[in-house]
Homo-oligomer: A and B are copies of this chain.
Amino acid sequence: MSHNTRTLAGFLSALRYDDLPEAVISRCEALFLDWLGCALASKGMHPIPLFERYARLMGPADGRSQILANGERSSAYFAALVNGASSHMLEQDDVHNGAVLHAGAVVFPAVVAAAQDLGKSGKELILAAVAGYEAGIRIGEFLGRSHYRIYNTTATVGTLAAAVAVGKLLGFNQGQFIHLLGSAGTQASGLWQFLRDAADTKQLHIAKAAADGLLAAYLTAEGLTAAQNILEGEQGMAVAMSRDADPDCLVDGLGSRWTLAETSFKFHASCRHTHPAADALLSLMQREGLSHEQIAAVTARVHQGAIDLLKWEAPQNPYQAKFSMGAVLGLVAVHGQAGVAEFAQQAYSDPRVVDFGRKVRMRLDAEVDGAYPKRWLGRVEVVTVDGRHLLGAIDDAKGDPGNSLSRQELEDKFRRLVAFSGAVGADQAGALIERAWRLREALAVDPLV
């Protein structure tokens, strides 16, 4: 038996809603809204309908849990599965930089499906989600960077995060949480190999993490026993899947450090390596009152990773545009934002955006490169049409904990996401926003669409 696992399980079991700081509760409501927008934005996008058909084939024709992309009912397992696939589809969901874990994408599909199945309240949902984030982020940090090099942490660790959230909803005691970690951990899987083929596997990973986590929790509630030291044991996760595991991470700051509040919201819909420069450019343009026509040249001073990844100089589709520094800076300069709708439409076809993109260069910057990956500094040099040389700089990319999104920005992002897919109309979007901000007051997690 691992002391750390016992301590973590004890914390999860003892955690009460009244223990949560107000900032954690309200951040959880914001994360819920942000997740909901991401999941709804996937409506109709390949491969989500494949998962919907699978749920229809294998699941019950009705059920207490809801599939968000099509509004159908199913059992909790299939709602978690399909909504898991949906959550990460547009890659607009939250991320914890240290754990490299998209916790919301796995925790919310599982815990919302289970809350609907079990008739739990908004407060119970929040408490359970917080437990899932706190366990998942710490386990992700525990497995370290060597794990992430081969494994999709949101798939592997995500299974445990989802399991813990559902286990908390089920009111598990310390012993049950230890069994739960065992049953979830032995199911952890998800290899990065698919990235080389741009295959659909990321959706399978997230779907399965949410659903397998929920399965582990329901079976543990029935009495299934499991390994008592799945994290640190001699044939456990760290030995099998990591070379730099740090056991201290598992219990770091339990009860005082709230990792859920350390998560980043994604603001721009592009590759994350473009965000600091985009934010620095926006900041400079606002400060100087510049329009895109007044700019003659932009040099984004970046870290090496950005130069390696952002290869597209003349993108021809939304995917390429998200990996093009020119297209991203063109969108924020011309349209003021680079959201999912802008990438679907203007990023490679709007002549003003394309023209602006041609004025953009990248250059390796020693300060920016040295700070990465701990900090993502944004630095842009701008030459104006009238010959001025200006510098834009931000030290926290928009959405990071030090520069988080305002409620208004989160609402705008949500409205853009659901409008993009047409999943819900503007009125219903407003109602869902209202529900999210009052999640703690909800007596039940009623169907969302």
A-to-B contact residues, CB < 8 Å: 46-47, 50-51, 53-54, 57-61, 75-78, 149-151, 155, 179, 182-183, 185-197, 199-201, 204-205, 208, 212, 215, 218-219, 222-230, 233-237, 239-241
Asked whether B225 lies within 8 Å of A197 as measured between CB atoms, the reply is yes
Bound-complex Cα distance A236 to B196 (A) = 11
Across-interface contacts of A195 in B (CB, < 8 A): 235
Asked whether A53 lies within 8 Å of B227 as measured between CB atoms, the reply is no
Asked whether A191 lies within 8 Å of B235 as measured between CB atoms, the reply is yes
Dominant secondary structure of chain A at its interface with chain B: helix
Asked whether A193 lies within 8 Å of B204 as measured between CB atoms, the reply is no
Subset of 26 A-B contacts with CB under 8 Å: A47-B219, A47-B222, A50-B219, A51-B219, A57-B76, A58-B78, A59-B75, A150-B235, A150-B240, A151-B240, A155-B186, A182-B199, A182-B201, A183-B201, A183-B204, A186-B189, A186-B190, A186-B205, A187-B204, A188-B189, A191-B236, A193-B233, A199-B225, A201-B226, A204-B219, A204-B224
Bound-complex Cα distance A288 to B37 (A) = 79
* Nearest CB in chain B to that of A229: its residue: B193
Across-interface contacts of A218 in B (CB, < 8 A): 54, 57-58
Across-interface contacts of A76 in B (CB, < 8 A): 57-58
Contact of A201 among B51, B155, B186 (CB under 8 A): B186
Closest 9 CB pairs of A and B: A189-B189, A193-B227, A194-B227, A58-B77, A50-B222, A192-B235, A58-B75, A199-B225, A193-B235
Asked whether A215 lies within 8 Å of B182 as measured between CB atoms, the reply is no
In the complex, besides A57-B75, A58-B78, A193-B236, 4 extra interface pairs with C-beta distance below 8 angstroms are: A50-B223, A193-B230, A196-B228, A197-B227
